[in-house]
């Protein structure tokens, strides 16, 4: 039997970030996951990547996590270019305008999980339990028992659900969920470009959805996230690599030259989810368990990491104030603040999707004028980019 103050369910980047952020707190932590946590990286880039903003990079550096990332799997981007397909609308960002070394980094999800697990397993207050499943949750007034499928039991005061979009912990809490099918499917792959990417993150809005080319460590490799209407996505997935790459080149207006597909293609449906309740006594959810958003701005992982850091701050303050950190009434300020950030991001993504979707001539004119105006006014551009960097 394991006894702990906090049980974190889900050892992805969000759950492990919470465990790491609690490294100096006088609390014991158990982290549970159904899969192995540390997984060897292949020689080629992993398909699932995230754009980690400057604010989260700094937070991870302060926790000695960033330093544990292999340098050859870190891909800084110094510029961003965003444009509307077949339109004059375009905006560009440059880290030099802010005096920053980069705008952010493209990081392979598993590389970040591996770095987090390496530092977390050195903590005296954390126990990692990989490759186990929770069969039953028995919740009491001040203690919760997690019955595991290997006959072990975890006793804790607070259960944190960081177990993803289909969170079993959210379902156990019976937290109401608002969701909307975006009607889009995201296709991810690694591609090789004829022209070097130049550490530029590129995104083009097409009538059927956005396409992002994210620069990887190799100067001619990019990770793509092509979000298309589900019907269009199925058609693209049915194509061979040559046809698919040709479609990428057309969507990119040839900006990176000839493209070849270097990996398998993965795809997944896109759904907005928002839990209207995040906590009850002894239970709280964070990350994708609490919210999922459209990937067009690449902010999903950043939002989840900020949830983890905010919850860690709240728990540590409650411990210092000698207040029960597992009671809902004491965690309400955390819930209010993070729900507000999630709603703001969901609304912004929905607005972008509605504005940039389709090829209505009036909407294209509005988009073009808006992007050109924003690109021409330094104050507006700086506000956009500082928000994207998390500052």
CATH number of the domain where residue 251 is located: 3.30.9.10
Residue 131 lies in a domain: yes
pLDDT at 88 over 80: no
Query: How many structural domains does the chain have?
Result: 2
Assess whether 242 and 209 both reside in one domain: yes
Residue 360 lies in a domain: no
Query: What number is the average pLDDT over the span 67-92?
Result: 86
Residue 342 lies in a domain: yes
Query: What number is the average pLDDT over the span 339-350?
Result: 86
Q: Which residue(s) pair with 106 in the sheet?
A: 51, 75
| The pair of three-digit structure tokens given for residue 194, joined into one six-digit string | 């004829």
| Alpha helices (runs of H) in the chain, residue ranges in sequence order | 13-21, 54-62, 109-120, 168-173, 230-237, 241-251, 300-320, 328-356, 361-376, 378-388
Assess whether 203 and 317 both reside in one domain: no
pLDDT at 365 over 70: no
Mean pLDDT computed over every residue of the chain = 90
Assess whether 11 and 115 both reside in one domain: yes
pLDDT tens digit string along 154-208? 999 999 999 999 999 999 999 999 989 988 999 999 999 999 999 999 999 888 8
Helix-helix angle 328-356:361-376, to 10 degrees? 110
Rounded-to-integer distance, Cα 72 and Cα 390, Å: 24
Query: What number is the average pLDDT over the span 245-262?
Result: 95
pLDDT at 391 over 70: no
Residues of the domain holding 215 = 68-108+183-270+366-388
Q: What is the pLDDT of residue 301?
A: 94
pLDDT at 366 over 70: no
Q: What is the pLDDT of residue 96?
A: 83
pLDDT tens digit string along 42-59? 999 999 999 999 999 999
| The pair of three-digit structure tokens given for residue 146, joined into one six-digit string | 């997690």
Q: What is the pLDDT of residue 380?
A: 54
Assess whether 200 and 324 both reside in one domain: no
Residue 219 lies in a domain: yes
pLDDT at 352 over 80: no
Contacts of 55 (CB under 8 A, 6+ apart): 302, 306, 389, 390, 391
Residue 322 lies in a domain: yes
Rounded-to-integer distance, Cα 340 and Cα 345, Å: 9
Assess whether 103 and 191 both reside in one domain: yes
Q: What is the pLDDT of residue 208?
A: 82
Using 50, 70 and 90 to split pLDDT, how confident is the model at 364? low
């Amino acid at each position: 039997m394991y006894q702990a103050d906090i049980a974190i369910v889900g050892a992805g980047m969000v759950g492990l970030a919470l465990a790491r952020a609690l490294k100096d707190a006088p609390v014991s932590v158990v982290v549970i996951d159904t899969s192995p946590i540390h997984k060897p990286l292949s020689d080629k880039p992993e398909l699932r990547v995230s754009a980690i903003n400057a604010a989260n990079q700094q937070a991870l550096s302060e926790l000695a996590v960033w330093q544990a990332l292999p340098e050859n799997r870190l891909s800084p981007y110094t510029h961003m270019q965003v444009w509307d397909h077949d339109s004059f609308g375009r905006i560009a960002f440059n880290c030099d305008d802010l005096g920053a070394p980069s705008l952010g980094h493209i990081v392979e999800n598993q590389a970040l999980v591996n770095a987090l697990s390496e530092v977390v397993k050195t903590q005296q207050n954390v126990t990692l339990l990989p490759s186990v499943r929770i069969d039953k949750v028995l919740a009491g007034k001040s203690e919760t028992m997690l019955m595991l499928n290997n006959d072990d039991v975890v006793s804790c005061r607070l259960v944190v659900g960081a177990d993803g979009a289909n969170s079993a912990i959210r379902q156990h809490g019976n937290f109401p969920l608002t969701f909307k099918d975006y009607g889009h499917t995201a296709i991810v792959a690694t591609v090789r470009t004829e022209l070097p990417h130049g550490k530029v993150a590129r995104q083009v809005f097409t009538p059927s959805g956005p396409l992002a080319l994210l620069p990887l460590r190799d100067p001619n490799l990019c990770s793509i996230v092509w979000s298309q209407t589900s019907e269009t996505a199925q058609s693209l997935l049915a194509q061979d690599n040559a046809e698919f790459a040709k479609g990428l080149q057309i969507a990119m207006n040839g900006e990176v030259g000839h493209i070849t597909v270097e990996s398998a293609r993965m795809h997944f449906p896109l759904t907005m989810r928002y839990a209207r309740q995040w906590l009850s006594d002894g239970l709280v959810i964070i990350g994708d368990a609490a919210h999922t958003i459209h990937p067009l701005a690449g902010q999903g992982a950043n939002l989840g990491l900020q949830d983890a850091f905010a919850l860690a701050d709240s728990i540590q303050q409650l411990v210092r104030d000698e207040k029960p950190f597992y009671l809902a009434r004491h965690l309400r300020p955390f819930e209010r603040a993070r729900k507000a950030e999630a709603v703001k991001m969901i609304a912004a993504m929905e607005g972008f999707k509605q504005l940039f979707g389709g090829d209505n001539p009036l909407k294209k004119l509005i988009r073009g004028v808006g992007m050109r105006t924003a690109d021409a006014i330094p104050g507006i551009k700086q506000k956009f980019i500082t928000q994207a960097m998390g500052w």
